Amino acid sequence: MANLSVDFCSVKFTNPFILPSGIITEVNEHKRAVEAGVGGVTLKSLTYEKREGNPLPRVWKYDCGMINSVGLRNAGIEKGSEEIAVFLKENKQAPVIVSLFATKLKEFLFLVEKIVPLNPPFIELNLSCPNVDDEFGKPLGMEKGAAGEIVKAVKKISVKVPFLAKLSPNVSNITEIAKSCENAGADGIVAINTAGPGMIIDINKRKPVLGAKKGGVSGPGILPIAVRCIFEIYEAVKIPIIGMGGVSKWQDVVEMMMAGATLVGVGTATYTKGMKVYDELKRGLSEYMEKEGIKELKELVGVAH
C-alpha cells in the first residue's frame, strides 16, 4: 500500500478519507466508520436544543444519489457533549471533527464554549444546513457578512481547538464566503454541503417523497458542483480544504484533490457500497499513486490549476 497519510492543520490522518457529518446520527455509532478504516470522522451537527428531526421519510435514494431532510435530528448540546466526551476518550485512531449548528450567533458561541474544554481535534461550524431556516428565512452563514461575523467571534473563544467552516454550494459566490471565513480566522474550509434543496415527486402518490417535501441533494450527481466549488475556493484562500460532495470512486478522489482538497469526505457512497467503500478507495488510490510514482498525496493537491 502506498503512503496515504496526510497532514491537515498539523493533525496527522492515516488516510485522506473523512466521514462527513450526518451520515451517522448517534455519536457512539461513529465507531463503525473508525473500525472500517476511515481517516477521520465528523459527528452529526449538534444544536442547542434536542431536535427530533423532520417528518419521515427523511432520506430517499434516486438514480444519481440521494435527497435528505433529516432536520438536524440530535440530542442537543447538554447530552450530546457528554456523549462526545466519552467518544473522544475511546477513539484515538481517527481524528474526530465535532460539528455544530446554530441559527443565532449567541447560540453558536454557547455551543463552542461547551465543546472547547473537551479538546477535540477539530470543530466544524455548519454554516449551511439546507433544512433549517433562521428567523429571516435563510440559514445563518450563507452570506459573507454573517459567516465572517460568526467565525471571528468563534476564533476568540476557540484558541486551542482548530475550527473549520462548512460551506453551502447554494450561494451566488462561495469564494467570497470562504475568503471572509479565512480573514476572520478559520483554520480550514469544508466544501461542499448538500446541493439544492431539491424535490422528488412520487408520480403514483402524486406527492413529494420526503416528509419535509424538499431536502439536500448528495451523491454522484453533485460531484461536478463540488469540484468547481473546491477549485474556486483553492484559488481564493490559503487555508486547507476538506473536499466532499458526490465522491464514490477513487478517480473522484484524485479529481477532488487536483481541484484543491487536502482531505476528501465520502458519505452518500457508504449508503450504496457500505463502509467497505473506504477500503475500496484506499486500494484504488494506492494503485494510482504507485503507477504515477506519487510518494505523498500532497503532490496531487491543486495540480489542476
CA distance 222 to 304: 19
Active site residue 229: no
Binding stretches for ligand DHB (CB under 6 A): 22, 68-72, 126, 129-131, 193-194, 216
Nearer to ligand DHB, 154 or 191 (CB): 191
Nearest distance, CB of residue 68 and ligand DHB, angstroms: 5
**Cα-Cα-Cα-Cα dihedral of 249, 247, 243, 233, to 10°?**
100
Nearest distance, CB of residue 243 and ligand DHB, angstroms: 15
Nearer to ligand DHB, 32 or 214 (CB): 214
Query: Of the residues 9, 64, 129, 181, which is catalytic?
Result: 129
Contact 14, 5 (CB under 8 A): yes
Nearest distance, CB of residue 196 and ligand DHB, angstroms: 9
What are the residues facing 19 on neighbouring strands?
A: 41
Nearest distance, CB of residue 226 and ligand DHB, angstroms: 12
Nearest distance, CB of residue 71 and ligand DHB, angstroms: 5
DSSP 194: -
Contact 108, 51 (CB under 8 A): no
Secondary structure class of 229 (helix, strand, coil): helix
Report the chain's terminal Cα–Cα distance, integer Å. 28
Closest to 222 measured CA to CA, from 196, 257, 242: 196
Contact 62, 50 (CB under 8 A): no
Which positions ≥6 away from 224 have C-beta within 8 Å? 246
Catalytic residues: 129
